Structure 1
Amino acid sequence: MTTLAWILLACLAGGALSLGIAALVAFRVQARWIPTLVSYAVGALLGAVFLDMIPHIFQANPNPGRSAAMILAGILVFFILEKLLLWRHHHHHGEEIEGGHDHGHDNDQGRSGWMIVAGDSFHNFTDGVIIAGAFIADIRLGVITALAILAHEIPQEIGDFLILLHSGFSKKKALLLNVVSSLATVLGALIAYFALAGARNWVPDLLAIAAASMIYVAVADLIPGLHKRAALRETLGQVSFIGLGIATIWIIHEGLG
């Protein structure tokens, strides 16, 4: 297959699989499954970054110091962006409390639900850019990156479904909005493919930023949630599934090698 075909297959198949699993779990409201999926996602993300992405970045870039600096800068940028989003959310939430409600759309849906759809669409768009950059660099790296992104998309999609349902959306509408949101992955991938195909010297920098994004999501967003469940049994389960996520990436790495 061509590189573009691999990119489109990864985006469409990954989106369909993550939505299918997320809908199955969310509609059955098996919230107790989410920490297990999050633990696995942490392992898959960190495994993909440290076993595949970073080694490939340093091999492809004649200036590894620049790549390391890009990863560091990327982590800082994502920290600042999240701070801005949190500030906006708290400011917006304060206004809602003063107004005494969480509505304001013609269909009387909660603002939080629409904010989730917008945020998820942007997130999916950036995932598409990351997937395209990885496939352009190397098909094997693209497959592993797409699988790691899929692993963290599943628990995120479950959370999105639950928020939409809580905001008053019907199950059918929540699923439809998530399908539309997932198409942003394809859009991001197509734009990145045509932008980067003729400028492959940009690929290592893009991969460095992508690695920073995945490290930040795992360490700053996912792991703190796991720390809230500190019982020994739950901790052992978390460590086991983090290890399973890493092992999955390692097996794929060796198998495709």
Structure 2
Amino acid sequence: MSSLSYIILASLAGGVLSLLVAAMVAFSASAALVPVLVSYAIGALLGAAFLEILPHALKEGASVSIVSATLLAGILLFFLLEKLVLWRHCHTTACEAHAPQQPGHDHGRSGLMITIGDTFHNFVDGVIIAAAFLTSVPLGMITALAIIAHEIPQEVGDFLILLHSGYSKAQAFALNLLSSLATLVGGVLAWYALEAVHGWVPFALALAASSMIYVAVADLIPGLHRRAELGATLQQVLLIALGVASIVATEHLVGHLA
């Protein structure tokens, strides 16, 4: 097979296989457990942003100041995007989007934010897969396996956030499927113009990290404070730690695969 054929197959596998595994895990949870498991999603998002995505952006050769500035700009961008979502729903403070939120529903805002950020991340995964296959086929296969491994816990978190945000299971799957196709787009574009696309990788990674940090801190963590009792707090802390640990574990697996 040609290198482009390998890139297309690996990009589809990297996006779709991790999506299917994550969907099985997330959808097996009962509806009552979804708000509880949001704590796990917070840990997975923050772990992926700080322990996997941002370090990778710095390894791509960008300076700390450029990555930090892009991260800050991304957080402000997602703040404005969330405002636009609110304004789209209504133009007065009497609108339901301004009313106190019901537990487990935020009118789709955090789900939309995380989908946008995950699309950036998936696009970068495609660029990485293409670069690996253009080096050698074995390296490309190892890279694709590593991407599937590190995507699964993050995709589980994304599904939980979409369900928590008010999307149905079918809608959550469709949004994640569309987002995963960005891996294929990134892989094909990188095959045609790797040098030009590769220069944008640190910026795309920093934007992906900013969406995860923003959703976790601005949209999800405030909801945890509605349950202030000691038992609930301990449960939340443990699940957040589990989310972070799942990212650390998959990074350790990726290191062995490499």
The two structures share one fold, judged by TM-score above 0.5 = yes
1:134 to 2:125 alignment: yes
Q: Report if the CA contact (8 A) 1:71-1:209 is conserved.
A: yes
Q: Distance in 2 between matches of 1:121 and 1:218?
A: 13
Q: Report if the CA contact (8 A) 1:45-1:218 is conserved.
A: yes
Q: How many angstroms does 1:181 deviate by?
A: 3.7
Q: How many angstroms does 1:58 deviate by?
A: 1.4
1:154 to 2:148 alignment: no
**Residues 128, 2 of structure 1: CA spacing in aligned structure 2 closer, same or farther, 3 A cutoff?**
farther
Q: Report if the CA contact (8 A) 1:3-1:136 is conserved.
A: no
Q: Distance in 1 between matches of 2:7 and 2:47?
A: 23
Aligned residues: 225
Counterpart residue type for residue 81 of structure 2: L
Instruction: State the match for 2:85 in structure 1.
Output: 85
Q: Which of 179, 187, 206 is the matching residue for 1:208?
A: 206
- 1:144-198 Cα offsets, whole Å, 9 max, x none, are 65234313223134336xx46xxxxxxxxx6555544443124333233333442
Structure 2 stretches of 5 or more lacking a match? 97-106, 130-142
Instruction: State the match for 1:76 in structure 2.
Output: 76
Q: Distance in 2 between matches of 1:145 and 1:205?
A: 20
**Residues 235, 92 of structure 1: CA spacing in aligned structure 2 closer, same or farther, 3 A cutoff?**
same
- 1:57-96 Cα offsets, whole Å, 9 max, x none, are 1122242211111111001100111111112223399689
Q: Distance in 2 between matches of 1:67 and 1:20?
A: 34
Once the two structures are superposed, the pairs formed by residues 13-24 of structure 1 within 5 Å of their partners are: 13-24=17-28
Structure 1 stretches of 5 or more lacking a match? 97-114, 165-173
Instruction: State the match for 1:219 in structure 2.
Output: 217
Q: Distance in 2 between matches of 1:122 and 1:214?
A: 8
Q: RMSD of the TM alignment (CA)?
A: 3.4
TM-score of the superposed pair, with normalisation by structure 1: 0.72
Once the two structures are superposed, the pairs formed by residues 53-132 of structure 1 within 5 Å of their partners are: 53-91=53-91, 124=115, 127-132=118-123
Once the two structures are superposed, the pairs formed by residues 171-250 of structure 1 within 5 Å of their partners are: 176-197=170-191, 198=193, 199-250=197-248
Q: How many angstroms does 1:135 deviate by?
A: 5.0
Q: Distance in 2 between matches of 1:238 and 1:61?
A: 36
Q: Report if the CA contact (8 A) 2:23-2:156 is conserved.
A: no
Counterpart residue type for residue 235 of structure 2: G
Q: Distance in 2 between matches of 1:229 and 1:93?
A: 26
Instruction: State the match for 2:13 in structure 1.
Output: 9
Q: Report if the CA contact (8 A) 2:127-2:186 is conserved.
A: no
**Residues 124, 216 of structure 1: CA spacing in aligned structure 2 closer, same or farther, 3 A cutoff?**
closer
Q: Report if the CA contact (8 A) 2:19-2:180 is conserved.
A: no
Instruction: State the match for 2:42 in structure 1.
Output: 42
Instruction: State the match for 2:51 in structure 1.
Output: 51
Q: Distance in 1 between matches of 2:179 and 2:157?
A: 14
Q: Distance in 2 between matches of 1:73 and 1:183?
A: 27
Q: Distance in 1 between matches of 2:75 and 2:6?
A: 32
Q: Distance in 1 between matches of 2:116 and 2:217?
A: 21
Q: Report if the CA contact (8 A) 2:126-2:184 is conserved.
A: no
**Residues 58, 80 of structure 1: CA spacing in aligned structure 2 closer, same or farther, 3 A cutoff?**
same
